[in-house]
Amino acid sequence: MLYTDHYRHADDIIEHLDTIVPGLPDPLLQAKYTGFVTVAAVTVYEMAIKEVFIAFAARENAVFEAFVESFFRRINGRIRLDDLKGYACRFGQSYEKDFSARLSSANSSHLNQYRRDLRSTYSNLILWRHDFAHAGRTATSATYEEAVQSYQDGKVVIDCLAQTMR
């Protein structure tokens, strides 16, 4: 399975909510839907990231694949940028350096084109998800549209990781 196939779950949810949320008159309900989007987004990120590393190991050999699959079985939200760099470094320091370089390059392009920092939007989404899922707090600093945009931006971060692990 391609790592991008995992995005379908969150993409379908967002596609449906895009028809509902903008018309809601209740800001609290909008904030709850925003939290729901962040949970779906981080969940598919986790699955995609696992897929990237497992596919990398599978190209090497079946034993390595089994080990990596077991290692990543329970990453449970540990997908911050520092976590990703640490995971890449486990395969060799050159992978961490390559990931950092790819991310910096993509971030520069993204900043120039969209005026958004990939690192910030990715990190914010993970923080919003944590607050919603573990503390029951709705993202008062984020709108539904910002959460959806952050999810889309985060895909670029994972693309950089996938390119690194090829």
pLDDT per residue as tens digits for the range 20-33? 999 999 999 999 99
**What is the share, in percent, of the chain residues with pLDDT greater than 90?**
90
In DSSP notation, 43-62 reads: HHHHHHHHHHHHHHHHHH-H
| For range 93-119, the mean pLDDT | 98
Q: Domain count of the chain?
A: 1
Which pLDDT belongs to residue 135?
Answer: 79
CA distance 59 to 46: 20
Which pLDDT belongs to residue 15?
Answer: 98
Which pLDDT belongs to residue 76?
Answer: 81
CA distance 117 to 9: 25
Computed over every residue of the chain, the mean pLDDT equals: 95
Domain that holds residue 15: 3-164
- Expressed in percent and rounded to 5, the helix, strand and coil fractions of the chain are 80, 0, 20
